[in-house]
Structure 1
């Protein structure tokens, strides 16, 4: 999410807007980060996910960055069973769409410690349970 929000803010000029929404859509939870920034040609969207890629090249680049943000965001979301896509048009902004399937959106029960398994601060003295 950090890379998606950072890009939305970076590519949106002063006075523009970044909107974050999330909603259930069928068997998934879908988060959208939409901006009113510079946007990009739909043909450039696949390149935006390539490692070390800046869509604006040359010595006169207006925006800093390594070109890894979207590449890593997609790699991580895919590894977690989610889908990440971009919808964009020049001058109309970009919307990042993060789709979490119901099973990916809910942690497995064994991944969440029960309250009684976590010692309270008052039960620990000098790093040992009291």
Structure 2
């Protein structure tokens, strides 16, 4: 399956997932500890994607059709040490002026690519480079 000028399905799915990670109501909602809240969370996530016009409903449904609650992924996610810090603590420990300069340079050197990605998918270059 291909979309827009040859962009592959996996790229669309990656942009969809990446652009919504921890954003809006879906990001704030908990999917629970046992999967019982996952379907409601996923529905909110899909609605948020549609409301933000990340992609058409058909693309959103297709990209997320195989997504299932995985207790191992949730356990690993919740045990990440960096996410036990406040944003300010994390920023002080992990972000340096050199990283910011490299990111700005990378964006500047690849401006046309980032402009196209932002135009086609609505994901700003700063978000992509920060990941």
Q: Which TM-score tier does this pair reach, normalised by the shorter chain?
A: under 0.3
Higher helix share: 2
Structure 2 length-normalised TM: 0.26
Higher strand share: 1
